[in-house]
């Protein structure tokens, strides 16, 4: 699907937080906004992700991943390491 530009005005402190959060999570502010809006759209359309989120193994793995990110123990890999040359 083709993309279109959307300008959004935010408070300075919120914009700085978004930039920092994106950099720390190796993503972009645009991707953060896109993921939020997709989640909102799914909820509005009734397409909940409850099945996967309610799975105890999935929930525990998500909590483990978040904990590693918070305490700095996550090991980052390059694109080539993950997908090969």
Are 83 and 73 in the same domain? yes
The pTM (predicted TM-score) of the whole model is 0.52
Q: Which residues have C-beta within 8 Å of that of residue 10, sequence separation ≥ 6?
A: 18
Q: What is the pLDDT of residues 14-73, one digit of tens each?
A: 999 999 988 988 889 998 888 888 888 887 777 665 666 677 887 788 888 888 888 888
CB 74 within 8 A of CB 68: yes
Q: According to the model, what pLDDT value does residue 52 have?
A: 60
Are 19 and 39 in the same domain? yes
In a domain, 1, yes or no: no
In a domain, 84, yes or no: yes
In a domain, 24, yes or no: yes
Q: According to the model, what pLDDT value does residue 85 have?
A: 63
């Amino acid at each position: 699907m083709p993309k279109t530009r959307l300008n959004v005005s935010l408070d300075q402190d919120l914009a700085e937080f978004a930039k920092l959060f994106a950099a720390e999570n190796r993503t972009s502010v645009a991707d953060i906004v896109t993921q939020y809006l997709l989640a909102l759209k799914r909820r509005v359309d009734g397409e909940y992700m409850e099945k996967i989120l309610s799975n105890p193994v999935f929930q525990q793995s998500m909590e483990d991943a978040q904990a590693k990110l918070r305490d700095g123990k996550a090991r980052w890999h390059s694109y080539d390491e993950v997908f090969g040359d």
